[in-house]
Structure 1
Amino acid sequence: MKIGFVGLGSMGAAIAKNLIESGHEVQVFNRSPARAEPLREAGASVASSPAQAALSADAVFTMVADDAAHEAVTFGEAGIATTLKPGALHISMSTISVATAQDHAAKYREAGLALVSAPVFGRPDAAAARKLFIMAAGADEHLKVAVPLLETLGQSVGIVGNDPSQANLVKLIGNFMLSVIIETLGEACAVAGKAGIDPMHLVELLTSANFNAPPYKIYGSLIASQQFQPPGFSLPLGQKDNRLMLAAAEALGVPLPLASLVHDRFLTLRSQGLGAEHDWSAVALCALSDAGLSNLLHGG
Structure 2
Amino acid sequence: MKVGFIGLGNMGQPMARNLRAAGHELSVYNRSRDKAEPLRQQGARVADSPADAARGAEVVFTMLSDDPAVEGVVFGESGLLAGLEQGALHVSGSTISVGLSDRLAEAHAKAGQRYVSAPVFGRPEAAEAKQLWVVAAGPQADVARCRPLLEALGRGLSVLGEKASEANVVKLTGNFLIASMMEALGEAFALTRKSGIEPAVFLELFQSVFARSPIFERYAVLIAGARYDPAGFKLRLGLKDVRLALEAAGAAEVPMPLASLLQDHFLGGVARGMGERDWSALGALAAERAGLDEK
TM-score (norm 2): 0.97
Q: Is the 8 A contact 1:108 1:114 kept in 2?
A: yes
Which consecutive unaligned segments of at least 5 residues does structure 2 have?
none
Partner-residue secondary structure (3-state), 1:167: helix
Partner-residue secondary structure (3-state), 2:190: helix
**Where does residue 208 of structure 2 map in the other structure?**
208
Partner-residue secondary structure (3-state), 1:161: coil
Q: Deviations over 1:266-295 (max 9, x none)?
A: 12111212121x100001222111112225
Partner-residue secondary structure (3-state), 1:166: helix
Out of 203-212 and 147-156, give the one that drifted further. 203-212
Q: How does 1:253-272 map to 2 (within 5 A)?
A: 253-272=253-272
**Where does residue 230 of structure 1 map in the other structure?**
230
**Where does residue 117 of structure 1 map in the other structure?**
117
Partner-residue secondary structure (3-state), 2:103: helix
* Residue 192 of structure 1: how far off its partner (Å): 0.9
* Residue 178 of structure 1: how far off its partner (Å): 0.2
Change (3 A) 1:119 1:7: same
Out of 45-54 and 102-111, give the one that drifted further. 102-111
The amino acid across from 1:134 in the alignment is V
Q: Distance in 1 between matches of 2:208 and 2:77?
A: 53
The reply on whether 1:101 has 2:104 as its aligned counterpart is: no
The reply on whether 1:184 has 2:193 as its aligned counterpart is: no
RMSD of aligned residue pairs (Cα, Å): 1.2
Q: How does 1:260-299 map to 2 (within 5 A)?
A: 260-276=260-276, 278-295=277-294
Partner-residue secondary structure (3-state), 1:82: helix
Q: Deviations over 1:137-193 (max 9, x none)?
A: 000110111112101110001012111101011000000000000000011001111
**Where does residue 64 of structure 1 map in the other structure?**
64
* Residue 107 of structure 1: how far off its partner (Å): 1.7
The amino acid across from 1:289 in the alignment is E
Q: How does 1:69-80 map to 2 (within 5 A)?
A: 69-80=69-80
Out of 80-89 and 24-33, give the one that drifted further. 80-89
Q: Taking every aligned residue pair, what percent have the same amino acid on both sides?
A: 49
Q: Deviations over 1:49-100 (max 9, x none)?
A: 1111111001111001111111121122211111211221111101100011
Q: Is the 8 A contact 2:287 2:293 kept in 1?
A: yes
Out of 99-108 and 287-296, give the one that drifted further. 287-296
Q: Distance in 1 between matches of 2:117 and 2:142?
A: 10
Partner-residue secondary structure (3-state), 1:134: strand
* Shift >4 Å, 4+ stretches: none
Q: Distance in 2 between matches of 1:185 and 1:14?
A: 29
The amino acid across from 1:233 in the alignment is F
Q: Is the 8 A contact 1:207 1:213 kept in 2?
A: no
Q: Is the 8 A contact 1:181 1:215 kept in 2?
A: no
Out of 266-275 and 242-251, give the one that drifted further. 266-275
